[in-house]
C-alpha cells in the first residue's frame, strides 16, 4: 500500500510541477542545494495551495499538518494520505503536532510548517511562532526558510477550488538557519525564529519593489 501511495505522490508532483510552470509561470529560486534527508521547511502562508505548491519542488516527500477533522472527508483524506499529512487534534494541538513532527523527522521525512499559524489576510508576513525552530532542535535537523510569493493566485481565498492559470508565482528557498552554539533551548528557538522573520521580511521587501519584467517586443 505504501508503494502505491508513493507512486501516486510522484505522479501528482510531476503533474503539479508542469501545471505550475505552464499555468502560473512559476519561478523556483534556491539559495543552496536542499538537504538529502529530514529537515523542517518553515514557510509563510498565503493559500490552501501552499502545502503541495511548496512540497512539489522537494526531491523527497514532504509531510505537513492538517486538522484531524479533514480525515473524515473521503476525497480530502486520500489527498492527505498521498502527501503525508500529519493530523492535528484541535483539542490538544501542541502535543499532537509535536508528536507527529518528531516521528516524521526521525523517519527521515522532511516536514513543512507555517510558523504564522494561519493564512495571511493582508498579504504580509505576520508574527511567527517558535514551533518550527523547536521541531528542528528536538529532531536535530536543519531549518530551511521558504517564502511563497503570490501563491494565493493558485487558490484565492474566495474560490472553492484551485484555478488553472493566473499571475506569475514564485517560491524562494533559503539557506539553513542554525543558532549559535551554547544558547539555552528557548533562547536558541527564539534566535532562529527571529532570523527566520528577518529573512522573510527581506524577501517580502525585495518582491514588492521588484519591477515586473516587460515582454520583449
For 18, other C-beta atoms within 10 Å of its C-beta total 11
Report if residue 216 sits inside a domain.
no
Instruction: Supply the mean pLDDT for the chain.
Output: 85
Report if residue 11 sits inside a domain.
yes
Q: What does residue 29 show for φ and ψ, rounded to 5 degrees?
A: -125, 120
Report if residue 68 sits inside a domain.
yes
**How many domains does the chain fold into?**
1
Report if residue 213 sits inside a domain.
no
What's the first-to-final CA gap in the chain, in angstroms?
53
Q: What integer pLDDT is reported at residue 216 of this predicted model?
A: 41
Closest CA to 172 of 154, 149, 195, 153: 149
Range list of β-strands (E), the chain: 27-30, 40-43, 63-67, 85-88, 111-113, 143-149, 170-173
- pTM beyond 0.85: the answer is yes
- Read off the C-alpha cell for 74: 473521503
Q: Give the whole-number percent of the chain exceeding pLDDT 90.
A: 44
What is the mean predicted confidence (pLDDT) over 48-77? 82
Q: What is the CATH number of the domain that holds 107?
A: 3.40.1130.10
Residue 213 has pLDDT above 70, yes or no: no
Residue 34 has pLDDT above 70, yes or no: yes
The better pLDDT of the pair 59, 112 is held by 112
Q: What integer pLDDT is reported at residue 13 of this predicted model?
A: 78
User: What range does the domain containing 103 cover?
Assistant: 2-208
Q: What integer pLDDT is reported at residue 147 of this predicted model?
A: 97
The better pLDDT of the pair 139, 208 is held by 139
Which range of 1-5, 24-28, 189-193 scores highest in mean pLDDT? It is 189-193
148: CB partners within 8 A, 6+ apart: 43, 44, 45, 46, 47, 50, 53, 54, 169, 170, 171
What is the mean predicted confidence (pLDDT) over 147-169? 88
Q: How confident is the model at residue 215 (pLDDT cuts 50, 70, 90)?
A: very low
What is the mean predicted confidence (pLDDT) over 68-93? 73
SS3 percent helix, strand, coil of the chain, rounded to 5, is 45, 15, 40
Closest CA to 68 of 47, 86, 50: 86
Report if residue 119 sits inside a domain.
yes
Of the candidate ranges 21-35, 62-76, 84-98, 129-143, the one whose mean pLDDT is the lowest? 84-98
Report if residue 215 sits inside a domain.
no
Q: What integer pLDDT is reported at residue 166 of this predicted model?
A: 85
Our measurement of the distance from residue 88's CA atom to the centroid of its chain's CA atoms, rounded to an integer in Å, reads: 16
Q: How confident is the model at residue 95 (pLDDT cuts 50, 70, 90)?
A: low
Q: What integer pLDDT is reported at residue 78 of this predicted model?
A: 72
**Mutual orientation of helices 131-139 and 185-209 as an angle, nearest 10°?**
130
Q: What integer pLDDT is reported at residue 4 of this predicted model?
A: 64
Would you call 189 exposed, middle or buried from its count of C-beta atoms within 10 A (0-12, 13-18, 19+)?
buried
Paired strand residues for 104: none
Triad 36, 38, 39: Cα angle to 5°: 105
Of the candidate ranges 5-19, 22-36, 72-86, 164-178, the one whose mean pLDDT is the lowest? 72-86
Distance CA 83, CA 41 (A): 15
Q: Give the whole-number percent of the chain exceeding pLDDT 70.
A: 89
Amino acid at each position: 500500500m505504501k508503494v502505491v501511495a508513493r507512486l501516486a505522490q510522484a505522479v501528482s508532483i510531476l503533474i503539479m510541477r508542469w501545471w505550475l510552470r505552464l499555468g502560473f509561470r512559476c519561478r523556483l529560486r534556491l539559495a543552496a542545494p536542499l538537504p538529502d534527508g529530514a529537515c523542517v521547511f518553515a514557510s509563510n502562508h498565503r493559500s490552501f495551495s501552499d502545502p503541495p505548491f511548496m512540497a512539489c519542488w522537494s526531491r523527497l516527500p514532504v509531510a505537513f499538518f492538517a486538522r484531524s477533522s479533514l480525515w473524515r472527508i473521503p476525497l480530502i483524506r486520500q489527498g492527505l494520505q498521498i502527501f503525508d499529512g500529519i493530523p492535528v487534534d484541535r483539542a490538544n494541538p501542541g502535543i499532537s503536532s509535536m508528536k507527529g513532527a518528531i516521528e516524521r523527522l526521525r523517519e527521515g521525512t522532511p516536514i513543512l510548517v507555517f510558523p504564522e499559524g494561519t493564512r495571511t489576510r493582508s498579504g504580509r508576513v505576520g508574527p511567527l511562532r517558535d514551533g518550527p525552530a523547536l521541531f528542528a532542535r528536538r529532531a536535530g535537523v536543519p531549518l530551511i526558510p521558504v517564502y511563497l510569493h503570490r501563491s494565493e493566485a493558485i487558490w484565492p481565498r474566495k474560490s472553492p477550488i484551485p484555478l488553472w492559470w493566473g499571475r506569475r508565482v514564485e517560491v524562494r528557498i533559503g539557506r539553513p538557519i542554525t543558532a549559535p552554539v551554547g544558547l539555552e533551548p528557548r533562547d536558541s528557538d527564539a534566535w532562529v525564529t527571529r532570523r527566520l522573520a528577518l529573512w522573510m521580511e527581506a524577501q517580502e521587501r525585495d518582491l514588492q519593489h521588484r519591477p515586473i519584467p516587460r515582454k520583449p517586443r
